[in-house]
Structure 1
Amino acid sequence: SGAISKTVNMPEEASVEDIEQLHQLSWELGLKAVAIYRDNCKVAQPLSTAKKDNDSAEPTAAAAEAAQVIERIVERVVHQPIRQKLPRSRRGRTFEFRVADS
């Protein structure tokens, strides 16, 4: 999308270097703001990928491989914005208004 801000959900294991890379990529893409959410960083969170039940099953090799493939696909979807320069001479309008009856 052509938004100027993005929201990024990261796993609890995200390192300082991961956050640094995210900020660098955001800057390169021309974003004005980036909101970063890490799993379990607050007492309550709006979205969680963790299971609610006490099932401590280890992830299978296929699930781990699928997660890596999804991560690679997501990394490739990002597009570089195209800058469109404005003409040197432009017309404009001036409006008069008042704030709080000043």
Structure 2
Amino acid sequence: MNHEDVLKALSHPVRLKFLIWLKDPENHFCGQEHPFSMGVCARQFEVSGLSQSTVSTHLATLQAAELIKSRKVGQWIFYERNEETIAAFQQYLNENL
């Protein structure tokens, strides 16, 4: 994990919102055919009101920082939080700030 990449990813309000939404997907996304245990389908992020390309860019930044993971199921991509990276970053902050 690169701490600077994580800070950069968290510095944008939309990316931070996406990460918060992924913590409790049942309360932020609806109408998903697959169980949330698979992750949240990329199309669900349309609830943000942003274009598909903007959503994809934000998700890619979060993924590059290792804050989220993705998996492809058929034609769909599902996203979930990477709790290991989040916990490691929280520990880093606790120890260094």
| TM-score higher than 0.5 | no
Coarse TM-score class (shorter-chain normalised): under 0.3
- Give the greater-gyration-radius structure (CA): 1
Task: With the length of structure 1 as denominator, give the TM-score of the two structures.
Answer: 0.24
